[in-house]
Amino acid sequence: MLHAILAASDPTFWLPRGASTVSGDVDMLFNIVMWICIFFFVLVTVLLLLFVVMYRHRPGVKRSTAAEHSTLLELTWTLIPSIIVVFLYYYGFRQYMNMVIEPPNAYEITATGKMWQWSFTYPTGVETNELHVPVNVPVRVILQSNDVIHSLYIPAFRVKKDVVPGRFNRLWFQATDNGQYDIYCTDYCGTNHSTMRSTAVVESQADFDKWMKITIDTNNNLPPVQKGKKLYMTQGCAQCHTLDGTRLVGPSWKDMWGRTEQLESGPDIVVNAPYVTESILLPQAKIVKGYPPSMPPFQLKPADISALMEFMKSISSHTSAADMMPTTGPATQPAATEPALTGSTTQK
């Protein structure tokens, strides 16, 4: 009978359409709680209004006063709620354990939160900004943070867990429907907290494998400039460095390459391979005047660094054609063809 009511209550009016193995039970529990709440709210409100109407003051009407206490009543409305909450507690906890205890041999993805974007690393080493998972496969997500506390929330899967630096929280889910679902960060993490969103793409195992293969291939032989652009997106450079000349925390990369800047320490420096390399590995070493020393060090592979540099060159007007590398072919070979003239650090 209860089930009849619950079935009648349209789940999608409140919660969004569920798409994971746990969502069904969670929604059921949600509806149980909701109906309990509705019952008590109606009870209280109706009694309240009823009494206010029935017993409102009428001149001349003398009402013989009612009792001042009744232990029986008190016990009743102490015990009944107690029973209900114990019931709720039990089912809530049982279901919670189902959500916590993960099935064995789950597919493992590492989610990294950094201000302010997500990146997901797969066992194949591929790193993407949107989460791709095969349908009907249990997925374990290891949560790690580069900076502050974030929180990974996928409403459709009814999962949420804080991403705490220093702790390695984890969550798991098993998507049941193909489709695209929202991913939010739900723990306040600074300026662009509200744009720290992404998408979970659920697709059939075949499609997933195909996607994975394509991604790996493109990563391997992506032209350096494109690869640099990709790194610019995935590594979070975009949070501080724009491409349109707007100045954020750090300098915009537009026309940055080959420009001569003055350092906080006085001397001028040309933005070239050594300086960019050093600034990526040890950002605090040489700070350009007027910028905060707030960039964290990035331990990138040499190939990635050179790819990034190619990307910088591609959007800079200070770069002579000689600077440019052929934008075809794998970027794995080093950017060894640096002309000498731009390289020297001129002391004032």
Q: How far apart are CA 65 and CA 58, in angstroms?
A: 15
Q: Interface with another protein includes 336 (CB under 8 A)?
A: yes
Q: Interface with another protein includes 148 (CB under 8 A)?
A: yes
What DSSP state is assigned to residue 323? Answer: G
Backbone φ, ψ for residue 33 (5° rounding)? -55, -45
Q: Out of 127, 162, 207, 268, which residue is the one contacting another protein (CB under 8 A)?
A: 162
CB of 36 to another protein, least distance (A): 7
Interactions with another protein, residue window 246-275 (CB under 8 A) = 246-248, 272-275
223 close to 234: Cβ distance less than 8 angstroms: no
Q: How far apart are CA 89 and CA 23, in angstroms?
A: 18
Interactions with another protein, residue window 51-80 (CB under 8 A) = 51-52, 55-57, 61-70, 73-74, 77-78
Q: Out of 277, 291, 316, 319, which residue is the one contacting another protein (CB under 8 A)?
A: 277
Q: Interface with another protein includes 320 (CB under 8 A)?
A: no
Question: Which residues are within 8 A (CB) of 110 and not within 5 positions of it... i.e. 6 or more apart?
Answer: 120, 121, 141, 142, 144
Using CB under 8 A as the binding criterion, the count of chain residues that bind another protein stands at: 127
Q: Interface with another protein includes 10 (CB under 8 A)?
A: no
CB of 252 to another protein, least distance (A): 10
Q: Position of tokens 């040499």? A: 302
Binding segment for another protein (CB under 8 A), chosen from 2-10, 38-46, 203-211, 313-321, is: 38-46
219 close to 228: Cβ distance less than 8 angstroms: no
Binding segment for another protein (CB under 8 A), chosen from 194-202, 224-232, 254-262, 319-327, is: 194-202
CB of 201 to another protein, least distance (A): 8
Backbone φ, ψ for residue 111 (5° rounding)? -100, 125
Q: Interface with another protein includes 194 (CB under 8 A)?
A: yes
185 close to 171: Cβ distance less than 8 angstroms: no
Question: Which residues are within 8 A (CB) of 31 and not within 5 positions of it... i.e. 6 or more apart?
Answer: 6, 9, 11
Q: Of 230 and 309, which CB lies nearer to another protein in the complex structure?
A: 309
CB of 165 to another protein, least distance (A): 4
Interactions with another protein, residue window 197-216 (CB under 8 A) = 197, 199-200
Binding segment for another protein (CB under 8 A), chosen from 220-228, 253-261, 280-288, 315-323, is: 280-288
Q: How far apart are CA 69 and CA 67, in angstroms?
A: 6
Q: Of 217 and 343, which CB lies nearer to another protein in the complex structure?
A: 343
138 close to 176: Cβ distance less than 8 angstroms: no
Both tokens of 176, joined, read: 């049941």
Q: Of 217 and 307, which CB lies nearer to another protein in the complex structure?
A: 307
Interactions with another protein, residue window 76-105 (CB under 8 A) = 77-78, 81-82, 85-86, 88-89, 91-93, 95-102
Residue 153 bridge partners (DSSP) = 160, 184
Q: Position of tokens 């007007």? A: 317
Q: Out of 6, 9, 30, 291, which residue is the one contacting another protein (CB under 8 A)?
A: 30
Residue 200: count of CB within 10 angstroms of its CB = 22
Question: Which residues are within 8 A (CB) of 52 and not within 5 positions of it... i.e. 6 or more apart?
Answer: none
Q: Interface with another protein includes 322 (CB under 8 A)?
A: no
Residue 175 bridge partners (DSSP) = 20
Q: Which amino acid is at 229?
A: K
CB of 156 to another protein, least distance (A): 8
Both tokens of 219, joined, read: 């990563």
Q: Out of 133, 139, 175, 189, which residue is the one contacting another protein (CB under 8 A)?
A: 189
Q: Out of 118, 120, 153, 257, which residue is the one contacting another protein (CB under 8 A)?
A: 153
Q: Interface with another protein includes 47 (CB under 8 A)?
A: yes
CB of 346 to another protein, least distance (A): 11
